[in-house]
Amino acid sequence: MDTITIQAVAEMAPERAAAAYPAACAVFWETAPQAAELTGQDRELFLRKYFGYYWDNAPDLFLCASEAGSIHEMLGYICGVSDTRAHHELYQLAEHIPLFDDLYSDYPAHLHINLTSRARGQGLGARLIHDLEDRLARHQVPGLHLVTSTGKRNVSFYRGLGFTCEVSRSTEPQTQESSHDCPLFMAKRLT
């Protein structure tokens, strides 16, 4: 993993960005097993909600990780925005965005991260998160958040990276079974 290059889409030459898009899309679909059943417009909306919106609207915070700088050896990416409230389209796209609106004053930035299966467990996820945090801190963004689910194994990974502010909410009535898979807001201060 010493030969990994991390580069923002906004820093890429246009032809490199054009080549990076399908490679990053492939990572997205590999890491989204819940989307396997989606077709047509539902599939496109899912891609827009968690990937395409960020590629189009925040290329400075869409960081691609590739082996030896080769876009064709894409290992993963992290994407996000520095101020969730400034991105009104996200409120319509992602049902969890309005759910935590009252917390965005302290933690305005958010992220999505995906790694290929062969890149997991080698420190790349932490490296991508730290790179994103550094970029946000340079712009005095006070905090960063993500939304996962209470029952996911990635919760301990994020806790280990300092995401210790946790708030669990749901728009659905909770049952014993569903309370284990409730949206979980996890955040940390950056400044």
Beta strand segments in the chain, E: 4-8, 63-67, 74-81, 109-115, 143-149, 165-168, 183-189
Structure pTM?
0.93
CB-based contact 69:101 (threshold 8 Å): no
- Domains assigned to the chain: 4-189 (3.40.630.30)
> CA-based diameter of the chain, in Å?
51
- pLDDT in 10s for each residue of the chain, 191 residues: 568 999 999 999 999 999 999 999 999 999 998 888 999 999 999 999 999 999 999 999 999 999 987 888 899 999 999 999 999 999 999 989 999 999 999 999 999 999 999 999 999 999 999 999 999 999 999 999 999 999 899 999 999 999 999 999 986 765 545 456 899 999 999 98
Q: Token pair 């996911």 is at which residue?
A: 152
| pLDDT value, residue 72 | 80
- Rounded to whole angstroms, the Cα distance separating 60 from 58 reads 5
| pLDDT value, residue 170 | 83
| pLDDT value, residue 33 | 81
CB-based contact 174:93 (threshold 8 Å): no
Letter string b/e over residues 61-88, b meaning 16 or more CB atoms within 10 A of that residue's CB: bbbbbbbeeebeebbbbbbbbbebeebe
Q: Which residues contact 2 (CB under 8 A, 6 or more apart)?
A: none
What are residue 65's DSSP bridge partners?
6, 76
Among 2, 132, 139, 118, smallest CA distance to 61 is for 132
Can you read off the two tokens belonging to residue 14?
A: 């246009």
Hey, how many other C-beta atoms are within 10 angstroms of the C-beta on 141? 18
Distances (CA, A) of 141 to 88, 129, 161, 191: 18, 14, 17, 7
- Rounded to whole angstroms, the Cα distance separating 1 from 19 reads 22
